[in-house]
Structure 1
Amino acid sequence: MSARLAPFPRFTGAEPCQGPDVDPEWWSSSNTTDRIAAELFCMRCPTREACLAWALDHPTEAGDAIWAGTTHNRRYQLRREFGLIAREEKK
């Protein structure tokens, strides 16, 4: 785990995931179409960086949901690239 732990993103209500016509279930759905929609919404989000930092630093809490347009597997790859994975996780 990294030495720093990013705080949970501060949402303003202007984020695409907070819109009135958006289903919050898309970010945790097992449906591929829903997950792609969530990823696309994230691509234009002003708090994307904060969401990604939080999801990278809190992998258990982020779980399998889409965070900052990334899947669980992509975040695992990023954590490996950034050296954020603890030794015991590499086993």
Structure 2
Amino acid sequence: MTAPERAPWPRLTGSEPCMAPGADPEHWTGSPAQRLKGQEECLVNCPESTRRQCLAWALDHPTHAGPGIWAGTTYTDRRRLRELRAAATK
């Protein structure tokens, strides 16, 4: 049995809040309070198609995604989503 294909790196348009000029990387990787700001920015300002791609990538690459904010989700959110996805495929 072959391993399922993993999501590719998201196609970024440059309009994402994490790519904006002057974007503070701490909003996605800093303290929990800082990540909350990034989470809000992402959910309000990031294009939906990009969020879907980022979420797919972060779910398929948990080690590389780490504790940062991806597609407006936290590490805990993504762990729960992976558990749900695994249960749904059983």
Shorter chain as normaliser: what TM range? 0.7 to 0.9
SS at match of 1:15: coil
TM-score when normalising by structure 1: 0.82
- In structure 2, what is the Cα distance between the partners aligned to 1:80 and 1:33? 25
Aligned-residue Cα RMSD (Å) equals 1.6
Give the Å deviation of 1:4: 2.2
* Larger deviation, residues 65-74 vs 19-28: 19-28
CA offset at residue 24 of structure 1?
A: 1.5
TM-score normalised by structure 2 residue count = 0.83
Aligned to 2:26: 25
Letter in 2 for 1:48: R
Q: Distance in 2 between matches of 1:48 and 1:12?
A: 11
Identity of aligned residues (%): 51
Q: What's the counterpart of residue 37 of structure 2?
A: 37
Per the alignment, residue 66 of structure 2 pairs with 63
Deviations 1:30-78 (A, max 9, x none): 2x33111100111131110000000000000001111011111110000
> How many residues end up aligned between the 2 structures?
82
Stretch moving more, 14-23 or 58-67: 14-23
- One-letter amino acid matched to 1:42: C
The equivalent residue for 1:89 is none
- Separation (CA, whole Å) in 1 of partners of 2:83 and 2:62: 12
Cα distance between partner residues in 2 of 1:55 and 1:21: 24
Q: Does 1:54 align with 2:57?
A: yes
Give 1:16 deviation, angstroms. 1.4
C-alpha separation between the residues in 1 aligned to 2:56 and 2:16?
Answer: 16
Long gaps (5+) in structure 1: 85-91
